[in-house]
Amino acid sequence: MNRPAFGVFYGVGVGPGDPELITRKAERILNEVDWIFLPAGGNNGSFVRRIVEPLGLPTAKFRPVSLCMSRDRSEDTNAYRLAANEIAKELHQGKSVAWLTEGDPLFYSTFLNLYDEIGRDPRIHMEIVPGVTSASAAAARAGVTVARLHERVAVVPAVYGIERLPAYLEEFTTVFLLKVNSVFDQLLAIIPALGPRVRAIYVEQVGTTSERVVTDLQSLRGQKLPYFSLVILRREEHQP
Protein backbone atom coordinates (compact mmCIF):
# COMPACT_ATOMS: atom_id res chain seq x y z
CA MET A 1 0.00 0.00 0.00
CA ASN A 2 3.04 2.19 -0.43
CA ARG A 3 1.88 3.29 -3.83
CA PRO A 4 1.71 7.10 -3.91
CA ALA A 5 -1.50 8.72 -4.99
CA PHE A 6 0.50 10.60 -7.61
CA GLY A 7 2.42 8.95 -10.39
CA VAL A 8 6.21 9.22 -10.46
CA PHE A 9 7.84 11.54 -12.98
CA TYR A 10 11.04 10.15 -14.48
CA GLY A 11 13.72 12.08 -16.36
CA VAL A 12 15.20 9.34 -18.51
CA GLY A 13 18.52 9.83 -20.30
CA VAL A 14 18.95 7.41 -23.17
CA GLY A 15 22.52 8.28 -24.04
CA PRO A 16 24.06 10.12 -26.98
CA GLY A 17 22.64 8.27 -29.97
CA ASP A 18 23.69 4.62 -30.16
CA PRO A 19 20.71 2.58 -28.89
CA GLU A 20 23.19 0.19 -27.29
CA LEU A 21 24.29 2.99 -24.95
CA ILE A 22 20.88 2.99 -23.28
CA THR A 23 21.23 1.73 -19.71
CA ARG A 24 19.34 -1.27 -18.40
CA LYS A 25 17.56 1.08 -16.02
CA ALA A 26 16.34 3.41 -18.77
CA GLU A 27 15.09 0.39 -20.68
CA ARG A 28 13.19 -0.93 -17.64
CA ILE A 29 11.64 2.43 -16.74
CA LEU A 30 10.52 3.09 -20.31
CA ASN A 31 8.85 -0.31 -20.35
CA GLU A 32 7.15 0.26 -17.01
CA VAL A 33 5.80 3.82 -17.30
CA ASP A 34 2.34 4.65 -18.55
CA TRP A 35 3.42 7.54 -20.77
CA ILE A 36 6.59 8.62 -22.53
CA PHE A 37 6.65 12.33 -23.28
CA LEU A 38 9.25 13.74 -25.66
CA PRO A 39 9.85 16.77 -27.86
CA ALA A 40 8.10 16.53 -31.22
CA GLY A 41 10.33 17.00 -34.24
CA GLY A 42 13.08 19.60 -34.25
CA ASN A 43 16.69 18.75 -33.50
CA ASN A 44 15.91 16.79 -30.37
CA GLY A 45 12.56 15.14 -30.86
CA SER A 46 13.01 12.91 -33.87
CA PHE A 47 16.56 12.17 -32.77
CA VAL A 48 15.67 10.87 -29.32
CA ARG A 49 12.76 8.87 -30.73
CA ARG A 50 15.15 7.10 -33.09
CA ILE A 51 17.47 6.15 -30.21
CA VAL A 52 14.78 4.12 -28.46
CA GLU A 53 13.38 2.58 -31.67
CA PRO A 54 15.11 -0.82 -31.10
CA LEU A 55 13.44 -1.16 -27.69
CA GLY A 56 10.15 -1.81 -29.49
CA LEU A 57 8.06 0.25 -27.09
CA PRO A 58 4.37 0.55 -28.00
CA THR A 59 3.78 3.58 -30.22
CA ALA A 60 0.62 4.46 -28.30
CA LYS A 61 2.75 5.21 -25.23
CA PHE A 62 4.57 8.12 -26.88
CA ARG A 63 3.27 11.63 -26.36
CA PRO A 64 5.24 14.06 -28.56
CA VAL A 65 5.09 17.65 -27.36
CA SER A 66 5.65 20.58 -29.68
CA LEU A 67 8.56 22.77 -28.59
CA CYS A 68 10.08 25.40 -30.80
CA MET A 69 13.64 25.24 -29.42
CA SER A 70 14.24 28.79 -30.55
CA ARG A 71 16.75 31.21 -29.12
CA ASP A 72 13.76 33.18 -27.91
CA ARG A 73 13.44 31.74 -24.43
CA SER A 74 9.95 33.09 -23.76
CA GLU A 75 8.32 31.00 -26.49
CA ASP A 76 10.09 27.91 -25.21
CA THR A 77 9.11 28.62 -21.63
CA ASN A 78 5.51 28.74 -22.73
CA ALA A 79 5.72 25.47 -24.61
CA TYR A 80 7.35 23.74 -21.66
CA ARG A 81 4.71 25.11 -19.33
CA LEU A 82 2.00 23.59 -21.52
CA ALA A 83 3.88 20.29 -21.62
CA ALA A 84 4.31 20.36 -17.85
CA ASN A 85 0.56 20.87 -17.43
CA GLU A 86 -0.21 17.90 -19.62
CA ILE A 87 2.28 15.74 -17.71
CA ALA A 88 1.02 16.94 -14.32
CA LYS A 89 -2.53 15.99 -15.31
CA GLU A 90 -1.40 12.41 -15.88
CA LEU A 91 0.65 12.30 -12.67
CA HIS A 92 -2.34 13.54 -10.68
CA GLN A 93 -4.34 10.61 -12.03
CA GLY A 94 -1.71 8.21 -10.69
CA LYS A 95 -0.08 7.59 -14.06
CA SER A 96 3.69 7.36 -14.26
CA VAL A 97 5.41 9.51 -16.86
CA ALA A 98 8.90 9.54 -18.38
CA TRP A 99 10.43 12.49 -20.17
CA LEU A 100 12.74 11.12 -22.82
CA THR A 101 16.00 12.93 -23.38
CA GLU A 102 19.22 12.21 -25.28
CA GLY A 103 22.39 12.03 -23.22
CA ASP A 104 21.91 12.76 -19.54
CA PRO A 105 18.79 14.51 -18.18
CA LEU A 106 20.73 17.07 -16.12
CA PHE A 107 23.38 17.90 -18.73
CA TYR A 108 22.14 20.49 -21.28
CA SER A 109 18.86 18.69 -21.74
CA THR A 110 15.26 19.48 -22.56
CA PHE A 111 14.28 17.77 -19.30
CA LEU A 112 15.55 20.65 -17.16
CA ASN A 113 12.68 22.92 -18.13
CA LEU A 114 10.14 20.33 -17.07
CA TYR A 115 12.08 19.53 -13.93
CA ASP A 116 11.64 23.11 -12.75
CA GLU A 117 8.00 23.32 -13.74
CA ILE A 118 6.88 20.00 -12.31
CA GLY A 119 9.14 20.34 -9.28
CA ARG A 120 6.96 23.21 -8.09
CA ASP A 121 4.42 20.67 -6.88
CA PRO A 122 6.09 19.11 -3.83
CA ARG A 123 3.65 16.20 -3.85
CA ILE A 124 5.15 14.81 -7.05
CA HIS A 125 8.04 12.40 -6.71
CA MET A 126 10.67 12.75 -9.41
CA GLU A 127 13.47 10.36 -10.29
CA ILE A 128 16.32 10.96 -12.66
CA VAL A 129 17.90 8.16 -14.65
CA PRO A 130 21.38 9.34 -15.65
CA GLY A 131 22.72 8.54 -19.10
CA VAL A 132 25.97 8.44 -21.04
CA THR A 133 26.71 12.00 -22.21
CA SER A 134 27.65 12.95 -25.76
CA ALA A 135 30.93 14.20 -24.27
CA SER A 136 31.85 10.72 -22.98
CA ALA A 137 30.74 9.07 -26.20
CA ALA A 138 32.66 11.53 -28.39
CA ALA A 139 35.84 11.00 -26.39
CA ALA A 140 35.39 7.23 -26.67
CA ARG A 141 34.99 7.39 -30.45
CA ALA A 142 37.92 9.78 -30.82
CA GLY A 143 40.04 7.73 -28.41
CA VAL A 144 40.91 10.83 -26.40
CA THR A 145 41.64 10.58 -22.69
CA VAL A 146 39.32 12.91 -20.79
CA ALA A 147 41.11 13.00 -17.43
CA ARG A 148 43.64 11.08 -15.43
CA LEU A 149 44.42 11.46 -11.71
CA HIS A 150 45.07 15.15 -11.11
CA GLU A 151 43.70 16.55 -14.37
CA ARG A 152 40.82 19.02 -14.60
CA VAL A 153 38.06 19.08 -17.18
CA ALA A 154 35.88 21.93 -18.44
CA VAL A 155 32.69 21.78 -20.46
CA VAL A 156 31.88 24.98 -22.30
CA PRO A 157 29.09 25.81 -24.76
CA ALA A 158 31.11 27.36 -27.58
CA VAL A 159 28.71 30.20 -28.21
CA TYR A 160 29.35 31.71 -24.82
CA GLY A 161 32.90 30.69 -24.00
CA ILE A 162 35.11 30.60 -27.05
CA GLU A 163 37.09 33.75 -26.22
CA ARG A 164 38.13 32.27 -22.87
CA LEU A 165 39.57 29.14 -24.52
CA PRO A 166 43.27 29.99 -24.18
CA ALA A 167 42.80 30.74 -20.47
CA TYR A 168 40.80 27.57 -19.90
CA LEU A 169 43.51 25.45 -21.48
CA GLU A 170 46.00 26.79 -18.97
CA GLU A 171 43.94 25.39 -16.11
CA PHE A 172 42.10 22.47 -17.66
CA THR A 173 43.75 19.58 -19.44
CA THR A 174 40.64 18.76 -21.44
CA VAL A 175 38.01 21.19 -22.65
CA PHE A 176 34.79 20.10 -24.34
CA LEU A 177 33.41 22.78 -26.61
CA LEU A 178 29.75 22.05 -27.21
CA LYS A 179 27.54 23.31 -30.04
CA VAL A 180 30.49 24.48 -32.09
CA ASN A 181 28.57 24.70 -35.35
CA SER A 182 27.65 28.36 -35.12
CA VAL A 183 31.11 29.62 -34.11
CA PHE A 184 33.33 27.25 -36.00
CA ASP A 185 35.25 29.83 -38.06
CA GLN A 186 36.01 31.77 -34.91
CA LEU A 187 37.31 28.55 -33.36
CA LEU A 188 39.55 27.87 -36.36
CA ALA A 189 41.10 31.29 -35.86
CA ILE A 190 41.83 30.60 -32.18
CA ILE A 191 43.24 27.07 -32.44
CA PRO A 192 46.72 27.96 -33.77
CA ALA A 193 47.17 30.32 -30.81
CA LEU A 194 46.70 27.40 -28.42
CA GLY A 195 50.07 26.01 -29.39
CA PRO A 196 51.25 22.63 -30.67
CA ARG A 197 50.61 20.82 -27.38
CA VAL A 198 46.85 21.20 -27.71
CA ARG A 199 45.12 18.58 -29.83
CA ALA A 200 41.70 19.37 -31.26
CA ILE A 201 39.24 16.76 -32.46
CA TYR A 202 35.87 17.43 -34.00
CA VAL A 203 33.03 14.93 -33.47
CA GLU A 204 29.54 15.18 -34.95
CA GLN A 205 26.41 13.08 -34.43
CA VAL A 206 28.29 10.61 -32.25
CA GLY A 207 26.83 7.13 -32.08
CA THR A 208 24.62 7.56 -35.13
CA THR A 209 25.11 6.32 -38.68
CA SER A 210 26.06 9.90 -39.65
CA GLU A 211 28.86 10.02 -37.09
CA ARG A 212 32.05 11.78 -38.14
CA VAL A 213 35.37 12.20 -36.29
CA VAL A 214 37.74 14.78 -37.84
CA THR A 215 41.24 15.55 -36.57
CA ASP A 216 42.15 18.15 -39.20
CA LEU A 217 39.76 20.89 -38.18
CA GLN A 218 40.93 23.26 -40.89
CA SER A 219 39.49 20.84 -43.48
CA LEU A 220 36.02 21.68 -42.17
CA ARG A 221 36.30 25.38 -43.02
CA GLY A 222 33.19 26.65 -44.75
CA GLN A 223 31.20 23.44 -44.25
CA LYS A 224 27.73 23.60 -42.79
CA LEU A 225 28.01 21.68 -39.52
CA PRO A 226 25.12 20.04 -37.69
CA TYR A 227 23.70 21.02 -34.31
CA PHE A 228 25.03 17.89 -32.61
CA SER A 229 28.71 18.68 -32.97
CA LEU A 230 31.47 19.26 -30.45
CA VAL A 231 35.22 19.75 -30.29
CA ILE A 232 37.48 18.12 -27.73
CA LEU A 233 40.61 20.09 -26.91
CA ARG A 234 43.31 18.34 -24.96
CA ARG A 235 46.61 19.64 -23.72
CA GLU A 236 49.06 16.76 -24.03
CA GLU A 237 51.49 16.38 -21.16
CA HIS A 238 54.86 14.73 -21.45
CA GLN A 239 54.49 11.01 -20.88
CA PRO A 240 56.42 9.61 -17.91
With binding defined as CB under 8 A, does residue 227 bind a second copy? no
From CA 48, how far away is CA 46, in angstroms rounded?
6
Stretch that binds a second copy, among 93-101, 159-167, 191-199, 213-221 (CB under 8 A): 159-167
Chosen residue from 107, 184, 202, 228 binding a second copy by CB under 8 A: 107
Residue 66 gets the label, from left (phi > 0), alpha (psi -120 to 50) or beta, of beta
Strands of 62-66's sheet in order across:
62-66, 35-40, 97-101, 9-13, 126-129
Report if residue 146 touches a second copy, rule: CB under 8 A.
yes
| Contact set for a second copy, span 6-65 (CB under 8 A) | 13, 15, 18-25, 27-28
Helices 73-92 and 111-119: crossing angle in degrees, nearest 10, is 60
As a whole number of angstroms, the distance between CA 184 and CA 192 comes to 14
Q: Letter for the amino acid at 111? A: F
Q: Does 177 bind a second copy (CB under 8 A)?
A: no
Question: How many CB atoms lie under 10 A from the CB of residue 86?
Answer: 14
Contact present, 144 and 234 (Cβ < 8 Å): yes
Shortest separation between residue 85's beta carbon and a second copy, angstroms: 18
Binding map of a second copy across residues 116-145, x = CB under 8 A, - = no contact: x---------x-xxxxxx--xx-xxx-xxx
* Closer residue to a second copy (CB): 15 or 45: 15
Interface residues toward a second copy, by CB under 8 A: 13, 15, 18-25, 27-28, 73, 77, 104-108, 112, 115-116, 126, 128-133, 136-137, 139-141, 143-157, 159-161, 164, 171-172, 239-240
